[in-house]
Amino acid sequence: GAGVSQSPSNKVTEKGKDVELRCDPISGHTALYWYRQSLGQGLEFLIYFQGNSAPDKSGLPSDRFSAERTGGSVSTLTIQRTQQEDSAVYLCASSLLTSGRADYTGELFFGEGSRLTVL
């Protein structure tokens, strides 16, 4: 598709279960971001992938959170032993790789998000 695709759009799970959220970025976009948005709140950075470089994991809130990006394209965010405070919308975004051009916008394009509810 033309945009960033995320699945599932909604996920309800029981406390303690593991969940996987998927992001398929825009074709050709080598930078991929995961953000978390709790109800009525701003966006919290989780993790960033750029090309073949090691990911920036500085935003992951605990070791229960992990993410992979296979083949430089699709990414999966995994939350182990989910807790109620993990309930949020998880947003994925992609962009072109950094460019030295002055007109490089670095604009991020967001998916529709995956709404996670932990009961």
Partner 1 sequence: ELKVEQNPLFLSMQEEKNYTIYCNYSTTSDRLYWYRQDPGKSLESLFVLLSNGAVKQEGRLMASLDTKARLSTLHITAAVHDLSATYFCAVLYLRNAGNMLTFGGGTRLMVKP
Binding-site ranges for partner 1 (CB under 8 A) = 31, 33, 35, 41-43, 45, 48, 50, 53, 56, 91, 93, 95, 98, 102-103, 105-113
Select 1 or 14, whichever has its Cβ closest to partner 1.
Answer: 1
Report d(CA 71, CA 66) in Å as an integer: 17
Select 86 or 111, whichever has its Cβ closest to partner 1.
Answer: 111
In this structure, what token pair is assigned to residue 95?
Answer: 């962009």
Nearest distance, CB of residue 105 and partner 1, angstroms: 5
DSSP string, 53-109: SPPB-TT--STTEEEEEGGGS-EEEEE-S--GGG-EEEEEEEEPPP---TT-----E
Nearest distance, CB of residue 99 and partner 1, angstroms: 9
Nearest distance, CB of residue 43 and partner 1, angstroms: 4
